[in-house]
Structure 1
């Protein structure tokens, strides 16, 4: 029905009725089944050809005359090829994006991802450490909706420059998982990570680095000169070679895992999900240290930097790997420069484990026993696993490794024979 929309006409309307104003084309009033009357402006978008409905308000909160004025304004905008509804939708979408941007920073997403997906994983601490050391300081405060590919590339380049391309790719993998996780529950977010961002090739990621004898001596010399960093760090690094452990296996060593002359790494934190028993040689025992002065318990983390009342208490395991490694590299570089030697080739803590295995071969340790010392499962072994199996053979193998390291660190004065692998 077309008429001038007034209060009188509104009061006469029945449920479902629509009034079209004869003064302003497109201005209408309609009465809902609930009894409420709503004002609106109908028009066709000249760009898309779609019919639009622009709500102007409810009768009672707005008068018919006021609604007509709003309809006239909208009609003028449409005449100028504007789209009032489209603009309103865009404004609302922008407001929503701004609200989401305030909530969904990279830090917030990483927090949620860690809680939902990372906690409880064997590698969980490594993932969190990568976020803390490399991601949060660089892009943590940014909104995930404002992230660009260049932000990711810049971050990875900085990680590569600081700690190497392998770490950069690990960071990339962790961030990719976090962003993919976010996309499963966020319609607005699209990850900026694309193919081709990796800093190494698959063959390069399969490391085969074995430290030469002079490099082992440089590392030990730098550790012996260690002063300003975590006091436990030299003992920790040396344990990686003498026990052939992975980084976190040594870092989380707790005295509850020590019994007599055996160190049992529980299956819950060992890669092959089996208890791994390491005989404690005299060389390894020297690295375990004494009970911390501030520890009031009967057990503690062997490699720890935490303190209570100014005294070490062994309450938490050591975790400052990145900074300590950088400081160690600086000491090594200083030593080599003073002796007129070129810088040491890029290396990782895990190379010590691989080097230990190589040194066992040089010491003529049986290959199977050497693999058992590394915690590798030998093919053909019976299904029932005995963690104390070949214990005496492993003890001799670790003793042979310690003796080989000692010979490398203190070679005979008349060192006529060059061990294979030592740089001339």
Structure 2
């Protein structure tokens, strides 16, 4: 049956009191009640024969010959003010020749897409497509896990603004230093650029000028002075957990390795008295052989308790099952002990330093020990005289062994200087 028509200025109280007319004798069904609003044309409330109330907009929609009614929402699920605003918005779309149903479907799809493209989702896809298998893959993932995901991971990439990136970088700078902030920026920039290749609608909020250091500052030349080496070694004696950390840190200097090269040291890579780092995880993509000197052998130690395998990661917190990875937390603990030592002796805090500075320090110590420059470079894994067609990973082993032994001797002299002939060495920069 047709709806009964009334026109009034709708109010929440009036809508609450609306009831469907009673069924007339002989009628198949009670008529529906239609109460039109006097404020917004075509807007009103429809009440069914069972008392259900719905906000409706009655007008001629694009593509339809006659006027029709479409629901705006159930009374109770949407309030009167919002229903009126929605009716006004629909009327505006209709005046522009747009069908509100089509517009809302487009918005719904956009919202679904928006929810599926959070920063976390993009980073997950980027890691799977681009990061996994890279030599630095673990560092990239750690940067995302420690610094990016906790801050903007749940945000849609379409909502990100330049100010969001700047705020994140400022927080990282305050927490972990400007160099780390710039590393994170570089990783996120690559991830967002990767996303733009597959997504026409996404534009990266990262722009030039966001870096927290200058290019000259990023080209580090920091090496540790003798007193700083002694402080670090003394602080390592005070660290109880993780138990492998002191040995790991010392390996970075004594073997002149990069952070992950030592962290992933595995017994499967050892051939008698040689440690062969495979090219798959070395920077120049070539195997790098390090003679295992007595000093390095001492760091390797024995099979860890609880290890069920016949091979294991040398520096591990999981009984050799996985390589050491808690770099940031352990480094902060190490720095805390160093500061404590220097404060107790009335010395100024130690200048900011990074684990990679130990590799550079080892190279400097070799120079002080009068090691031939070419042999010292080979100990660092640098190819001398260009890349050969055939690379002999076992060349210059004797020279390299003597160089690493000279490095260990120089370190021992620094840690245990003759009491009557102590010459303080200050931090210097490599040429």
Q: Same fold (TM over 0.5)?
A: yes
Q: Which residue of 2 aligns with 1:29?
A: none
- 1:12-411 aligned at under 5 Å gives the runs 54-56=62-64, 67-70=66-69, 82-83=95-96, 85=98, 90-227=103-240, 229-306=241-318, 312=319, 314-379=320-385, 383-411=389-417
What SS does structure 2 have at the residue aligned with 1:292?
coil
Deviation at 1:415, TM superposition (A): 2.4
CA contact (8 A) 1:183 1:191 kept: yes
d(CA) in 2 for partners of 1:144 and 1:332?
A: 41
Cα distance change on mapping 1:383 and 1:75 into 2, 3 Å: closer
1:330-383 CA-partner distances (Å, limit 9, x unpaired): 111111111111111111100000000000000010101100100101116754
| Structure 1 contact 214–422 (Cα < 8 Å) conserved | no
Distance in 1 of aligned mates of 2:145 and 2:197: 23
| Cα separation, 2, equivalents of 1:178 and 1:421 | 37
Deviation at 1:255, TM superposition (A): 0.1
Q: Is the 8 A contact 2:273 2:292 kept in 1?
A: yes
CA RMSD of aligned residues (A): 2.6
How many angstroms apart in 1 are the aligned matches of 2:401 and 2:104? 72
Instruction: Give the C-alpha shift of residue 81 in structure 1.
Output: 9.2
Distance 2:315 2:90 in 1: 72
Aligned residues: 356
- CA contact 2:166–2:210 (8 Å) conserved in 1: yes
* Contact in 1 for aligned 2:225/2:426 (Cα 8 Å): no
1:107-163 Cα distance to aligned partner (Å, 9 max, x none) = 111111111111122221111111111111111111212212121111111111222
Q: What is the TM-score with the length of structure 1 in the denominator?
A: 0.78
Residues 253, 358 of structure 2: 8 Å contact kept: yes
Q: Runs of 5+ in structure 1 lacking a partner? A: 1-40, 43-52, 57-63, 307-311
Q: Quickly say closer, same or farther: Cα 1:352–1:185, change in 2 above 3 A.
A: same
**TM-score normalised over the length of structure 2:** 0.77
Counterparts of 2:387 and 2:110, CA distance in 1: 59
2:162 touches 2:205 (CA, 8 Å); kept in 1?
Answer: yes
SS of match in other structure, 1:264: strand
CA–CA separation in structure 2 for the residues paired with 1:69 and 1:421:
83
Shift of 1:90: 4.7
Query: d(CA) in 2 for partners of 1:290 and 1:176?
Result: 43
| Structure 1 residue 69 displacement after superposition | 3.6
CA contact (8 A) 1:213 1:422 kept: no
How far does residue 416 in structure 1 lie from its aligned partner after superposition? Answer: 4.3
How far has the Cα of 1:210 moved from its partner?
Answer: 0.9
d(CA) in 1 for partners of 2:91 and 2:266? Answer: 74
SS at match of 2:275: strand
User: How far apart, CA to CA, are the structure 2 residues paired with 1:357 and 1:420?
Assistant: 16
In structure 2, C-alpha distance between the alignment counterparts of 1:340 and 1:291, rounded to whole Å: 41
